[in-house]
Amino acid sequence: MLAEDKLREEALTNPLYDDEELTEEDKAAIAQGKEDIKAGKIHSLDEIKRQLGDL
């Protein structure tokens, strides 16, 4: 197993925990994101890749 794969596996099996409280700004951004999703204002990963091309 490559070192990169080991790091990826470790990150997925033992994710870091963020113990900071959400700010009002964070909460507003989350609410806005949920509204955008409900309104259909979303783009699939494939759409974004087509728009940006190969990076």
pLDDT at position 27 is: 97
> Does a structural domain hold residue 11?
no
* Structural domain for 49, as ranges: 22-55
Position 51 in a domain = yes
Residue 34 inside a domain? The answer is yes
Amino acid occupying residue 42: I
What whole-number distance in Å separates Cα of residue 34 and Cα of residue 52?
24
- Is 30 part of a structural domain of the chain? yes
Per-residue pLDDT of 1-55, as tens digits, reads 678 888 888 888 888 888 899 999 999 999 999 999 999 999 999 999 999 987 6
DSSP per-residue string spanning 4-45: HHHHHHHHHHS-----SPPPHHHHHHHHHHHHHHHTT----H
Question: Does 35 fall in a domain?
Answer: yes
**Structure confidence by residue, pLDDT tens digits, 8-19:** 888 888 888 888
Number of domain units in the chain: 1
Q: For residue 40, tell me if it sits in a domain.
A: yes
Residue 6 lies in a domain: no
- Give me the pLDDT at residue 19, please: 86
Give the per-residue pLDDT at 55: 65
Q: Is residue 2 part of a domain?
A: no
